Amino acid sequence: MRVLFELLRVLVILLFFGAILGGAMNVLYGMFGVNVANTNGGFLIGVAILILLFVLYRNKLQFIGFYKGDGRGKLPKKVSASLVTSSVLLMLIAPYVQ
């Protein structure tokens, strides 16, 4: 039963934080006069947000959840840094992708 609660928790985290970050990115790009909604750049921003949420979950949020089984551990620092760097690069190149 704990696994189901944890899956529901992950889904809520993805939807809630994903929506907040997606809205923030739309506002940020809107301030510069760039519209990335309904373009391939918007898809890249979505992928970047998912990568950031994955790193956040694996390094912080999984330790305060319902599931207490084996296999829980932080990502190595190099992996975390490379994932965050790649997501920032995706966000930076998003306006240039049609």
| pLDDT at res. 51 | 96
Report CA-CA distances (Å) from 88 to 2, 28, 36, 84, 95: 34, 14, 15, 6, 13
Q: Which of 37-41, 62-66, 69-73, 91-95 has the lowest mean pLDDT?
A: 69-73
The structural domain count of the chain equals 1
Containing structural domain, residue 80: 2-96
| pLDDT at res. 31 | 92
Better-predicted residue by pLDDT, 70 or 63: 63
| pLDDT at res. 36 | 84
